[in-house]
Amino acid sequence: MAIEQARETVAGLVGARARDVTFTASGTEAANLVLTPAIESTGAAGPIKRLVLSAGEHPCVIRGQRFGASALEILPLDADGRVKLEVLEAAIGGEGRVMLALQAANNETGVVQPVAEAAAIAHAQGAVVVCDAVQYFGRAQCRLEALGADFLILSSHKLGGPKGAGALVAASENHRIAAPLLRGGGQERGLRAGTENVAAIVGFAAAAAEAAAEIETEGVRLVELREGLFNEVVAVAPDAVVFGAAAERLPNTLCFAIPGVSAETLVIGLDLAGVAVSSGAACSSGKVARSHVLMAMGVASTLAGSAVRLSLGWSSTNQDVRGFGEALARVLASMRRNQSAA
């Protein structure tokens, strides 16, 4: 009963039927489940042959998809981190029926993609549209009919809910996954075998409902905090570059680089100062790797190597922002002293 109540809650928040919500262990699992050519579609003109996706997609989409390499087409991003619709249209109009995977918002830069416009183009060509809404859900109005997606990928912990819960939401029964990842006892209407994590699922629904109820006021609050972070950065590094600054972005994400400052050194220094940041996706917090998203945006490799991502959430405060600014000032001062001594 608790699971079914949670299913009703999540479905209602995205404008779906409860029967079309499949709970998974994560957004990653949901992506692996749906990104397959084994989709049976009502009235479709042939099977799905190709997967078209943007170069900025989350690794669980790029690596988790179940298409062969020859069936994969990756779309470039413009300098603001958005896909170009004319390029997307040309790719979808190629040979063979297509699945389009396009995230609602990027997990590193926070840049919002034109999902509704892309979905309209894709559907005109008979394509199936999958939207990774993990970052978007709970931070912006996330309705299936508005996005135009056939499937949504969601995750609990991005909302402050428990880790270990996610969901794949279908817009209708017009598209059916014919090749589940996990087979067994038939849970989740046969799409995801295995005993459900009841506590995580219930927590997921509770966090989602809370986030939805406060989405407008929380968005304003997070934008103020994000701008506060930016002010702290430029106060000690006036030459700092913010990625995606000219595009619509989520209120909780700031991705920046200080030219000449190694992301690796900065991440380690801030970590020692008690501030958790990453040089890419938040799931890479404390790790350093060159961002595939920034490279796809055409950012020079030297600048991309300086990129750091900051993320805010429901528990973030003005005190956290000030604490970050103080830590950043100390770390940069130490780095500059060491450079001078060398």
Question: 297-339, pLDDT tens digit by residue?
Answer: 999 999 999 999 999 998 999 999 999 999 999 999 998 888 7
What pLDDT, on the 0 to 100 scale, is given for residue 286?
A: 47
What is the pLDDT at residue 283? 53
Q: What is the pLDDT of residue 342?
A: 64
**The pLDDT value given to residue 213:** 94
Q: How far is CA 195 from CA 3, 186, 269, in A?
A: 11, 10, 42
Based on the residue annotation, tell me whether 142 is a catalytic residue of this protein: no
Nearest CA-CA partner of 65 in 144, 132, 133, 161: 132
Q: Which are the contacts of 320, defined by CB distance < 8 A and separation ≥ 6? A: 225
- Residue 285: per-residue pLDDT: 46
- Other Cβ atoms closer than 10 A to 131: 28
For the segment 68-72, the average pLDDT, to the nearest whole number, is: 91
Q: 280 pLDDT band (50/70/90 cuts)?
A: low
Catalytic residue among 60, 142, 255, 283: 283
For residues 167-176, give the mean pLDDT.
Answer: 95
> The tokens of 244 are what?
């995606």
pLDDT(267) > 50: yes
Lowest mean pLDDT among 90-94, 146-150, 151-155: 90-94
With beta carbons less than 8 A apart as the criterion, state whether 80 and 246 touch. yes
Average pLDDT score over residue span 181-185: 93
pTM for this prediction: 0.93
Q: How far is CA 336 from CA 260, 272, 333, in A?
A: 11, 17, 5
pLDDT tens figures, 39-54: 999 887 789 999 999 9
pLDDT at 284 over 90: no
Exposure string over 115-126, b if 16+ CB within 10 A, otherwise e: beebbebbbeee
Give yes or no for residue 60 having a pLDDT over 80.
yes
Cβ atoms within 10 Å of 187's Cβ, excluding its own = 16
Question: Please, what are the domains in the chain?
Answer: 2-213 (3.40.640.10), 215-341 (3.90.1150.10)
Please give the Cα distance from 79 to 76 (Å, whole number): 10
Specify the pLDDT at position 96: 84
Q: Are 266 and 275 in contact (CB under 8 A)?
A: no
Bridge-based pairing of strands 151-155 and 307-311 is: unpaired
